[in-house]
Structure 1
């Protein structure tokens, strides 16, 4: 049996295989509301044959959006906009659907990538970002507003409310976004966090607020459904967050019942220097898994099915998440299954697509016609 196509159970949720559709920002929402684009995009990903689909970074409040086009889940309107999208997925696919909850922190109020991705100043129609400290992401940008006690409480309550809304929507699992330079990563990294209270300074203090948010999300989501965390294992900048810090954070998350850790890297500083190559982040995932035993997701330029199979088989990670690779080839899991001698779920409308030499790709099926 293929290791990549073996099942995995997270609390009450069973994944048919170890392939995850990584949360991918689409910058196509309107006032935080899902649109027809989300129906098309998520519907396509739901029919990919992957074991789990994670909805893009979803803002827990309007000011927490990365861009004006980012998806949100902060009120009845944004919640209602996701209902038809999820209903369509459920009608035609049994894939578990999870969601990544996020607050952009000082990286909020940015242009969408195809318009340059730079900060939108308040004078130009943007909004004032909030962060652990009044330090801009990039030199020359408007500094964010440092969060005070009331601001921290507002964000706590917003994460709790979004978790409850996700539960009402029937979402199968949640991922707390503590990576890529967004708010919770900003608290973790000494590059972005220069507070002098109980949320800054020592590693223990810098971990405090992200751990509080994990506890809040876990407490406001059904106990039988999983909650995981995405982390940046390193800032790729001297004096920043490190792999050793990540392991310490992961150990604390394990104590609190985290169901997985999704190991990425970078994002907190434009000074980062990342040596890109296939599987460049896998050593981080392997180190975290070895140190903690947490169910671990590996990400980052993993596009070869044989490579993905090897990573699972050798225990470097428990799950493989793909993003750009699935945008380029939305049937990547089908092709991987064909290459590895495994099967995937597909709707009957697509059964005729399997090549003649791959009769077992969709399992034991038949397709009659008068």
Structure 2
């Protein structure tokens, strides 16, 4: 069984629109799209339903989640655990975990896979695969995170962007 060539990934991280609805730092709405965690997830769930209506239930549907704002009053990992469970129920097939408004880094951490505390917490509450991102450039670091069950998959976008042969070299290195 191979991996499908096509997928859809809904982006809710790094201050983009859906992330703005999810984060209490930016979502100051007082209607059905603001306030409680479930209200802040309402637009996400409506978009997931709309996409599933078009692509069907057998099409891979990912969601990139800014799982923590790292700022008082912002998204917490507990919020993201609730969100992850709701997204799984709605039909998301893979969660791609990243940071949020503070950009693409975890404050105070420079190790490869610096979002692993987030992925570990989310893996505890869902049964769908979880992708770990966060500065992973070394194949051994990726393998170590997988073996430690910090994630099910590893995102290496920047490493591949900088070196188109990264995957080939990673396979050779890990043999």
TM-score, normalisation: structure 2: 0.92
Name 2:159's counterpart in structure 1. 325
Residue-by-residue CA offset, 1:155-197 (whole Å, 9 max, x unaligned): xxxxxxxxxxxxxxxxx11011111111111111111111111
Superposition RMSD in Å: 1.8
Does the 8 A contact of 1:230 with 1:263 survive in 2?
Answer: yes
Taking a change above 3 Å as real, the CA distance of residues 298 and 273 of structure 1, as seen in their structure-2 partners, is: closer
* Matching of residue 223 in structure 1 with residue 57 in structure 2: yes
Find the partner of 1:305 among 139, 152, 157: 139
Contact 1:282 1:298 (8 Å CA) reproduced: yes
1:251 and 1:310 map into 2 onto residues whose CA distance is 26
Whether the aligned pair in 2 keeps the contact of 1:326 and 1:332 (CA below 8 Å) is: yes
Contact 1:228 1:258 in 2 (8 A): yes
CA contact (8 A) 2:19 2:100 kept: no
Are 1:279 and 1:301, in contact at CA under 8 Å, matched by a contact in 2?
Answer: yes
In structure 2, runs of 5+ residues without a counterpart are none
Gaps of 5+ in 1: 1-8, 16-95, 98-171, 342-370
Q: What are the within-5 Å matches in structure 2 for residues 171-250 of structure 1?
A: 172-250=6-84
Superposed CA deviations along residues 102-127 of structure 1, whole A, max 9, x for unmatched, are xxxxxxxxxxxxxxxxxxxxxxxxxx
Which secondary structure state, in structure 2, belongs to the residue aligned with residue 220 of structure 1?
Answer: helix
Partner of 1:274: 107
Asked whether the equivalents of residues 188 and 203 of structure 1 are also in contact (C-alpha less than 8 Å), the reply is: yes
Instruction: Give the Cα separation in 2 of the matches to 1:199 and 1:224.
Output: 29
| TM-score scaled by length of structure 1 | 0.45
Deviations 1:10-54 (A, max 9, x none): xxxx33xxxxxxxxxxxxxxxxxxxxxxxxxxxxxxxxxxxxxxx
Asked whether the equivalents of residues 237 and 273 of structure 1 are also in contact (C-alpha less than 8 Å), the reply is no
Partner of residue 258 from structure 1, selected from 83, 88, 92: 92
1:257-298 per-residue CA deviation (whole Å, 9 max, x = no partner) reads 21000000122x68x972241211011111111221221001
* Distance apart, 1:218 and its partner CA: 1.4
Aligned to 1:91: none
Alpha-carbon distance change, 273 to 228 in structure 1, aligned in 2, over 3 angstroms: closer
The CA deviation at 1:333 is: 0.9
Deviation at 1:314, TM superposition (A): 2.5
The number of equivalent residue pairs is 173
Question: Secondary structure of 2:18's match?
Answer: helix
Structure of greater relative contact order (alpha carbons < 8 Å, 6+ residues apart): 2
- 8 Å CA contact 1:227–1:260 kept in 2: the answer is yes
Select 1:336's aligned residue among 164, 170, 174: 170
User: How far apart are the structure 2 equivalents of 1:253 and 1:266?
Assistant: 17
Q: Secondary structure at the match of 2:55?
A: coil
1:138-157 matches, within 5 Å, as none
